[in-house]
Structure 1
Amino acid sequence: MNRLELERLSIRGLRVLERVDMEPAPRLNVIWGNNGHGKTSVLEAIYFVATSKSFRTSRIGELVRHGEAAASVKARFVERDGALPALPREQTAAVQGKSVVVRIDGNRPRALVEYATRSPVVVFHPEELTLSSGPAQGRRTLLDRLALFTRPESAEARARYTHALRARHELLRRAAESPRDDTRELDAFEALCAEHGAALTRARAAAAEALVVELQGAFTQIAAPDLALEARYVPGGSADVETAREELARGRKRDAFRASAGFGPHRDELELLLDGHPARVVASQGQHRALTLALKAAETATIAKERGIEPLLLLDDVSSELDPERTGALFSFLALHRGQIFLTTTRPELIRAEDISAEGRRDFRVFRGELDEGAG
């Protein structure tokens, strides 16, 4: 498997980081310091320059440092396959107001999805501890991230489906208040919902199938070996366009008085069962943590297989994992990854990495938005 490596990172005006330059180690990079000084912002910058998005907010303007007009991140990525010479490239991402501008070697990519999948990255942060226990939306988002690699066209299908579904809901609301016989506009939007919803269902089904293959092995290594895990995709819509159109038409009267349609991929679920029972209900706190880590390991492995390269792994605030109960699951998770790792912690002395040489690890301290190399 080829490896993706971030060789150089330059951050300007992002969050509390005014000016940060970093030359990471090829395997493990421990970013440490007290809370509130900018550790997570370093990971956010890496994620932003790799994907054009933030894992902390959907309001991209929040990345711009107070008092600055813009935020920018520049990264030098290298793909290594061990046999051929390394293939370096420069990626830049900048935000001004609500606009994002991205470049690869100075050129605009043809589409954002092309940019977002060029240098794959997987992030694990504290909010994702609800991935196995929380609402289905988090698991749908996981499938959508994977679908960018298994079915890249799914991003456009999801956007078009969401737009058409909102338009349908508004038309149904108006019709309930003031009934009318002409349904041509509603028919047209339901046709769009059916077309793009079916495409999204097929893409998520393919992503789920690829994920489940990797999930079983990861869970066995991270969790107790006597626990049986089953994962399956439960579609809320249909992969067949005509079936989807008929179901939407049949549900008009019902959906007019609901917050959302009762049929469609916005109701998809990735069902997780432990010993045949819903994990969301029966799993202990430790089992949820192990299951979430296994899902992230499976996400990483699925992307690696589809893209042909080990993604970067970003782990935020692993200090919350480092008590006697949780340490084993975390380090079992890290042992599964053979690519470059960036993690943040308030306790760097607890980060063990016996299989990584001194040359493969670097420690960086973040203090008041400034980063310096140095062990804790």
Structure 2
Amino acid sequence: MSAPADELTGRTPSLLLERLNIREFRNLERVDVEPAPRLNVIAGNNGQGKTSLLEAIYFAATSRSFRTPRAAELVRHGAAVASARARFVERRDALAPLAREQTAAVEQKRCAVRIDGNRPPSLASFATRSPVVAFHTEELALSTGPASARRTLLDRLALFMDPQSADHRARYAQALRARHELLHRGAGAAAQASSELDAFEELCALHGAALTRARDAAVNALAPELSQAFARIAAPDLTLAARYAPGGSGDAEEARRALREHRRRDAHRPSAGFGPHRDDLALELDGHPARVVASQGQHRALTLSLKAAETAAIASVRGVEPILLLDDVSSELDPDRTAALFTFLGLARGQVFLTTTRRDLIVTPGIAPSERRDFHVEGGVLS
């Protein structure tokens, strides 16, 4: 699945979106665009379709939205089908570029995907073929918000390192729900000793241990990239460390024992007290919890660093620089945050799509005019 670095230059190949065709997607009725190879700035007022354009790129690459889990919401009001078709090219210095066309469509809440007109072996193989990394407003609380957001980040990276991790995660969640229902349906000894409960705990142990190992590997790949990115974006005199705080175990036998021991207690809890659904990515500044000691500006820098690290780690694993999608980057930017943003953009080595209400803030002297393209969105129309 991975493409090697160019043998002559040593540089990681870049993934480019050369052409995008959007039909009946949110408020975008018909959009056809040929982006610039480096930076694409999409400006406009709020509610005009800027975010929907980035969402369509993400959808064409992954079959998912970064805004909603409900695919039916992507279909334009009054339309039957929403689709996004993208021509992706892996641009390599020493060899001929690799090109493909990926299409994702939603009809009656069902999603269909194609690569060059053919159905891929799995959704995981589709989602990892053309890597994109999205940074949107909800991720501004990545370092301060609930652990679920940080688990999602680890799962995105784990998908590239071990595509089966997505299946393990889904099967673990399904088995955990079934165990929870059994325990709450009858908290007595008979329910707790049932063979059905044993079977669901076996699934929880096997898939949960596999998921724990996948996330542990993801943290090991992410942590060094995160430390380097934070030193560039924030301050070199501060040390940022990331470590995996597992809620379960990578050993299936240990997980099996813990689930059995916790049955009585879990029967009276809203969720199980053991397992990867309780995982977290612990972030520490100079040895102290970042959630407690970091300033508002440092949290902003930490969030940008997490996205830079995610991008770099995926590039290393996948062998191609991901496309970076940045939504609403000009919101609440003061001079310090603006400097952090442009340092972050300087770390991005691939193609970038950026939305803003303040085009005047996006000054990029290091990018040639031929490598930048500016667009305006109004009422779902791109110009």
Asked if Structure 1 and Structure 2 have the same fold, meaning a TM-score greater than 0.5 normalized by the shorter chain, the answer is: yes
Q: Is the 8 A contact 2:183 2:191 kept in 1?
A: no
Match for 1:120 among 131, 147, 152?
A: 131
User: Compared with structure 1, are the counterparts of its residues 311 and 181 closer, same or farther at alpha carbon in structure 2 (3 Å cutoff)?
Assistant: closer
In structure 2, the residue matched to 1:363 is 374
**Counterpart amino acid of residue 240 in structure 1:** D
Partner of 2:220: 209
* Cross-structure match for 1:166: 177
Taking a change above 3 Å as real, the CA distance of residues 16 and 35 of structure 1, as seen in their structure-2 partners, is same
Let me know the Cα RMSD of the aligned residues: 1.0
Is 1:74 aligned to residue 96 of structure 2? no
SS in 1 for 2:341: helix
Kept in 2, the 8 Å contact 1:321–1:330? The answer is no
2:84 maps to 1:51? no
Within 5 Å, which residues of 2 pair with 1:345-364? 345-364=356-375
Match of 1:39 in 2: 50
Pair 1:141-2:152 in alignment: yes
Does the Cα contact within 8 Å between 2:233 and 2:343 map onto a contact in 1? yes
Q: CA deviation at 1:179?
A: 4.4
- Indicate the SS of the match to 2:235: coil
CA contact (8 A) 1:290 1:329 kept: yes
Report what 2:331 is aligned to.
Answer: 320
Match of 2:8 in 1: none
Kindly indicate whether residue 90 of structure 2 is the aligned counterpart of residue 90 of structure 1: no
Tell me: CA distance 1:125–1:344, structure 2 relative to 1, closer, same or farther (3 Å). same
Counterpart Cα distance in 2 of 1:180 and 1:170: 11
Aligned partner of residue 93 in structure 2, secondary structure: coil
Distance in 1 between the 2:205 and 2:191 partners? 23
Q: Give the stretch that moved more between structures: 6-15 or 83-92.
A: 83-92
2:9 maps to: none
1:244-263 alignment runs, 5 A limit: 244-263=255-274
Cα distance, 1:282 vs. partner?
1.6
> Could you tell me how far apart the structure 1 residues matched to 2:67 and 2:191 are?
44
Given that 1:191 and 1:245 are in contact with CA atoms closer than 8 Å, whether structure 2 keeps it comes out as: yes
Between the aligned partners of 1:303 and 1:221, the Cα distance in structure 2 is: 19
Q: Which amino acid aligns with 2:97?
A: A
How far 1:323 sits from its partner (Å)?
2.0
3-state SS in 2 of match to 1:344: strand
1:6 aligns with 2:17: yes
Contact kept, 8 Å, 1:300 with 1:310, in 2: the verdict is yes
Could you tell me which amino acid in structure 2 is paired with residue 76 of structure 1? R
8 Å contact 1:201–1:238 — kept in the other structure? yes
| Equivalent of 1:105 in 116, 123, 128 | 116
Q: Which amino acid aligns with 2:130?
A: S
**CA offsets, 1:334-372, max 9 Å, x none?**
000110000000111210111110000000000100001
Counterpart residue type for residue 372 of structure 2 = R
Question: Using the alignment, how far apart are the partners of 2:238 and 2:279 within structure 1?
Answer: 25
* Aligned 1:302-341 pairs, distance under 5 A: 302-341=313-352
Partners in 1 of 2:248 and 2:208 — Cα distance? 7
- Counterpart of 1:64? 75
Task: State whether structure 2 residue 298 is matched by structure 1 residue 287.
Answer: yes
Distance in 1 between residues matched to 2:333 and 2:267, nearest whole Å: 49
Aligned AA (1:169): H
The residue identity in structure 1 corresponding to 2:314 is: I
Deviations 1:104-134 (A, max 9, x none): 0000000000000000000001110110001
Distance 2:224 2:295 in 1: 24
CA contact (8 A) 1:321 1:327 kept: no
Q: Is the partner of 2:187 in helix, strand or coil?
A: helix
Please name the residue that 1:229 is paired with: 240
Change (3 A) 1:178 1:246: closer
Residue 199 of structure 2 aligns with which residue? 188
For structure 2, which runs of at least 5 residues remain unmatched after alignment?
Answer: 1-11
Moved more, 136-145 or 318-327: 318-327
Secondary structure (helix, strand or coil) at the match of 1:26 reads: coil
Distance 2:162 2:332 in 1: 34
Large movers: runs of 4+ above 3 Å: 177-182
Which stretches in structure 1 are left out of the alignment for 5+ residues?
none
Secondary structure of the residue that 1:318 maps to in structure 2? coil
Work out whether residues 192 and 263 of structure 2, in 8 Å CA contact, stay in contact via their aligned partners in 1.
Answer: no
SS in 2 for 1:176: coil
Q: Residue 348 of structure 2: SS of its match in structure 1?
A: coil
Deviation at 1:325, TM superposition (A): 2.3
Cα distance in 1 for residues equivalent to 2:20 and 2:118: 19
The residue that corresponds to 2:277 in the other structure is: 266
| Structure 2 counterpart SS, 1:271 | strand
Identity %: 69
- How far did residue 322 of structure 1 move? 3.1
Greater mean alpha carbon deviation, residues 39-48 or residues 348-357: 348-357
